[in-house]
Structure 1
Amino acid sequence: MRLRTQRLPALLLGTALVASVLGIGTIAAAAGPDDATSTRTTATSAVHTGHTMALSTQASGDDADGDGYIPAVPPVTGVTPSSATPPPAYFHEFQANCSVTHTAQDDPIVYPGQFGKSHDHTFMGNTSTNAASTTGSLYGGNTTCKAPADASAYWMPSLYKGDQKILPVGPQVIYYKAGVTDYRSVRPFPKGLRFVVGNPMQSAQEFRGHKGFVEGWECGDSFFNVDIPASCPSRPDVQLNLRMQAPSCWNGLHLDTPDHQSHMSYPVVKPGTNDNMCPASHPVALPMVEFKMAWPVNGDMSQVRLASGRGYSFHYDFFNAWEERTLKAMVDHCIVGGLQCDPRGYDQSRPERGAVLNAEYRLP
């Protein structure tokens, strides 16, 4: 039997999804108690993550019955969110540097099995990612990430200047961080976990208010832009940059849900403190993925846009296919260990702690 929690009543589905752009936790609140005896959601059109799609009706890949729920096997239950204050550690992170592999109008999370259905995406990491990608097809595959064990798929809407597609050059910085104050409680992603960060249908105000918003669009000395700046300094050292953070608290039950977001949540503030902890509805602390992207474009930016629309339509997708032992070693050494690690799991300010991976970025 599939585990179904936080299922949305059909009449509330569309409005709840649109309302969710400001905070992932809103869907669970709108859903009410789970009805374990409810029948499968029928074809319900809703606008979500920038796509008009029929939810819970596409059987494909890892979701054989097409209801949109992919259960974690086994589920992670009995977890109490940590409210403890850990030993001081300014950093608790590592990098997964991954280069662009290809572009395509595919989205294996939102439109599984439907080639050419989405707007154009720029893919990084796993070289095989396409509309038909599944956990099995990605796992152990070729990758442009420095660590061969990271066969995960990362993607975002493609950037254009007029009709010219602009691709990031070289390894892009993808951080894995602690999103909660008690960094010692963070555990590795479950194999096959996937989610969408942000919503291409969001307004500029909603993008600025998104819990994953960091510094907005940047170029030169211009920061905190919700849209792509109209111009950037025409210098070789100037690129267009953007950072955005993913939710890092998991419900422990699903690798995906019909909206591709409600199984995840951003941390909440512990009452009476400035500490972040996972909410009871999503008690499992996972690494916080942060995209730090750079596009080689500057000067007149008036024709620069995303395949999904204006700059504030930015969003991205993550599909975990790390080799389990390697990911656990990196999380334990760098995040739980309170270090600032490079893609080898090495903190140059703490050389005595050593590295996780060898010179070939492999686990010894």
Structure 2
Amino acid sequence: MRPSPQRLPALLLGTALLATALGVGSLASAGDSGEAPAAAVTHTGHAMAVSTQGSGDDPDGDGYIPAVPQVTGVTPSTNTPPPRYFHEFQANCSVTHTAADDPIVYPGQPGKSHDHTFMGNTSTDAGSTTSSLYGGTTTCKAPADASGYWMPSLYKGDRKILPVGPQTIYYKAGVTDYTSVRPFPKGLRFVVGDPMQSADQFRHHRGFVEGWECGDSYFNTDIPTSCPDRADVQLNIRFQAPSCWDGTYLDTPDHKSHMAYPVVKPGTNDNVCPADHPVALPMIEFKMAFPVNGDMSQVHLASGRGYSFHYDFFNAWEERTLKAMVDHCIVGGLQCDARGYDQTHPEAGAALDTDYRLP
């Protein structure tokens, strides 16, 4: 069963209208979506379209990948549990490789995308599927996290700049009722942000945290032209993902419409999931650090200017381990490391053992 025209209006209005109707954090934004066999809106080497090619998890190529089972009968939680400043854990994952591949946007089409820097699963490529990623080798500290994480590669001139060491990928509560957050369904995937967005759209995107940072410079929509030339200075960016799921699809043609950002409950300051995306999932936040400083005038992304930053997530966690981390750290109101340990609450213990595995 496919969404009604009212649910995905942008998909039915055509790519030309979609390109002009992009709103900040809009669920109708196709972003880095797959190339259509018909007309597509191009920009900086990208294609804006609403159709996909049959491949892997989506053999009919219609762009909809149903969840099995679907999650129904959920009402967005409006509860306000005891306040806890933190409800999160980290997935610390290192860079594995780079490639002009994107198994979400261009499945089965190697070399089709701009260059991406991949983290987590070491096998991620254009042909990756849920089954090929699940149980695979990973650079994440927790061996059970075989998910694929990727973003446009960063360059200084023609030289690729890769993050060094484990990068911080937060899993947080995006809603006020952190006790209502449940694990990602196996095979869920989505794109965060939009390579087509303007600087103003990037600045006002729901996922915007502090923009591009270096030294004492914050909230930059574009990559600064210079940063302090010191060993302790790197270029940083933080960006948050939507955390409310429709419970129906693991992916949709624009790779976004099955997900939504929380909304503010009228008359309160509480963040709740909207009624059409009632399932609260962890909110992913990329916190990336690139070892580059000094003269930054030639620094750019493979997708274009700094405000074209976006990233992709393809869930392939082992289910029991992810549930243990979500329950212990997010639902439990803790600030956990990649083991599920909170140094300020040692009495709570850890979700994983010293090898980052379920005990």
Could you say which TM-score interval applies, normalised by the shorter chain? over 0.9
Deviation of 1:23 (Å) = 2.1
Q: Report the TM-score when normalising by structure 2.
A: 0.94
SS for the counterpart of 1:10 is helix
Counterpart code for 2:13:
L
Where does 1:214-233 land on structure 2 (aligned, <5 Å)?
214-233=209-228
Q: Does 2:152 correspond to 1:152?
A: no
Q: Does 2:308 correspond to 1:313?
A: yes
SS for the counterpart of 1:169 is coil
Q: Does 2:195 correspond to 1:196?
A: no
Q: Does 2:40 correspond to 1:45?
A: yes
C-alpha distance in 1 between matches for 2:22 and 2:61: 22
- Match 2:242 to one of 235, 238, 247: 247
Q: Does 2:251 correspond to 1:256?
A: yes
- Match 1:16 to one of 11, 15, 18: 18
Contact 2:94 2:167 in 1 (8 A): yes
Deviation of 1:321 (Å) = 0.2
Deviation of 1:88 (Å) = 1.2
Counterpart code for 1:15:
L
Q: Tell me what 1:38 maps to.
A: none
Counterpart code for 1:313:
S
230 and 22 in structure 1: CA distance in 2 versus 1, 3 angstrom threshold = same
167 and 57 in structure 1: CA distance in 2 versus 1, 3 angstrom threshold = closer
Where does 1:1-364 land on structure 2 (aligned, <5 Å)?
2-5=1-4, 6-8=7-9, 10-16=12-18, 19-25=21-27, 43=38, 45-46=40-41, 51-52=46-47, 54-364=49-359
Counterpart code for 1:19:
A
Contact 1:217 1:223 in 2 (8 A): yes
Contact 1:256 1:263 in 2 (8 A): yes
C-alpha distance in 2 between matches for 1:49 and 1:144: 31
Q: Deviations over 1:271-303 (max 9, x none)?
A: 011110000010000000000000000000000
Contact 2:156 2:300 in 1 (8 A): yes
Contact 1:187 1:331 in 2 (8 A): yes
Contact 1:71 1:254 in 2 (8 A): yes
SS for the counterpart of 1:154 is strand
Structure 1: tracts of 5 or more residues without a match: 29-40
Contact 1:186 1:336 in 2 (8 A): yes
Q: Tell me what 2:33 maps to.
A: none
Contact 1:243 1:291 in 2 (8 A): yes
Structure 2: tracts of 5 or more residues without a match: 31-35
C-alpha distance in 1 between matches for 2:164 and 2:37: 43
Counterpart code for 1:258:
P
SS for the counterpart of 1:290 is strand
RMSD: 1.9
Counterpart code for 2:202:
F
C-alpha distance in 2 between matches for 1:325 and 1:197: 26
Deviation of 1:25 (Å) = 3.9
SS for the counterpart of 1:76 is coil
Counterpart code for 1:232:
C
C-alpha distance in 1 between matches for 2:234 and 2:43: 30
Q: How many pairs were matched up?
A: 351
Identity of aligned residues (%): 78
42 and 67 in structure 1: CA distance in 2 versus 1, 3 angstrom threshold = farther
Contact 1:232 1:298 in 2 (8 A): yes
Q: Report the TM-score when normalising by structure 1.
A: 0.93
Counterpart code for 1:234:
D
Most deviating of 8-17 and 101-110: 8-17
Contact 1:196 1:261 in 2 (8 A): yes
SS for the counterpart of 1:228 is coil
